Amino acid sequence: MGSRSKGNYTNPCLTLHQPWASLLVYGIKRVEGRSWPAPLRGRLWIHAASKVPDSDTIKAMENFYREIYAVNGIADLKFPEHYPVSRLLGCVEVVGCVKCEELACWKEVPEGVRLEAQTEFCWLCEQPQKLIIPFEMRGYQRIYNLERKIYEAAVRGLRPVQAPLPVKFLLPEPQDPLSLKPGSLVSCFDGSKAAEDKKPEGLLAAIAGARAAATQFSKNDNHQSITMQGQDADVSTRTREESEEFEKLDSELIKRADAKTQRNAE
């Protein structure tokens, strides 16, 4: 179990849906998108939610990353063989947080990274590490602290990941964690429409497919909040479903007990 916390983070963890969780731990995904700014810097543990991803979602996200890596000349991208659920997968280092429009115009990072800017806030992630054996555990909403005994076991099982294109982000100014160092951005807002038109059709289709895959969660369940980059994984749905199952089981056990009592009485 995790210890839910608001700002007092010791071993912070974030639950994501698959395939976003594994893509982040494997170093393929370098930007975690949110509708809220990163409240921390440093190690962030990544946990995969309980929802099993369908093949279309996996295909759409793999195609998205295949296309944006191709922009930087990487054609042979190796994806995870499996996307486990309800597991602690590993960790990344959150080194900064910038606005979407800032990252989209940041010329010092590979173009493929800039293409990951699809949400209001972009958490910049480096140094992915994965667990040799993912731990089964339950997740919570937003950021929470790992239970101490889980952390102590997990930290011994971490192994560095050889990311397909490691990125070293230029750290933002400490006084303004949502802005990059002065002069590091080149304005691209005026020509944003023209830049969009210049993108290859395959890339545009991959971006559209990834957006559609991400939004399907909110369409299927009003309690879930998912964005392009794997927004908050909601656990309230699973909790409700588990409660309903326990109620059904209790009801069945009561019926069986009543029937046994009646037979004994006869």
Identity of the amino acid at 9: Y
**In this predicted model, what pLDDT tens digit does every residue of 135-161 receive, in sequence order?**
999 999 999 999 999 999 999 999 999
Determine the pLDDT at residue 65: 97
DSSP 54: P
Mean pLDDT over each residue of the chain, to the nearest integer: 79
Per-residue pLDDT averaged across 178-207, rounded?
63
Most confident by average pLDDT, 22-26, 189-193, 255-259 = 22-26
Determine the pLDDT at residue 213: 85
Q: 246 or 263: which carries more pLDDT confidence?
A: 263
**In this predicted model, what pLDDT tens digit does every residue of 200-257 receive, in sequence order?**
888 899 889 988 888 775 554 433 333 444 544 443 333 344 334 434 433 443 354 4
Determine the pLDDT at residue 60: 95
Cβ-defined contacts of 53-58 (< 8 Å, 24+): 53/17, 53/18, 53/19, 53/83, 53/85, 56/213, 57/19, 57/213, 57/216, 58/18, 58/19, 58/83
Q: What percent of the chain has pLDDT over 90?
A: 52
**Residue 62: band (very low, low, confident or very high) from pLDDT cuts 50, 70, 90:** very high
**In this predicted model, what pLDDT tens digit does every residue of 42-59 receive, in sequence order?**
999 999 999 999 999 999
Per-residue pLDDT averaged across 117-142, rounded?
93
**Residue 7: band (very low, low, confident or very high) from pLDDT cuts 50, 70, 90:** low
Res 124 pLDDT > 60: yes
The domain limits of the chain are 2-234, 236-266
Q: Give the other-Cβ count within 10 Å of 36's Cβ.
A: 13
Q: Give pTM, 2 decimals.
A: 0.76
Question: In CATH, what class is 2-234?
Answer: mainly beta
Where is 126: in which H helix or E strand? strand 121-136
Most confident by average pLDDT, 16-25, 101-110, 195-204 = 16-25
Alpha-carbon span 2 to 228, nearest angstrom: 26
Per-residue pLDDT averaged across 33-41, rounded?
91
Determine the pLDDT at residue 153: 94
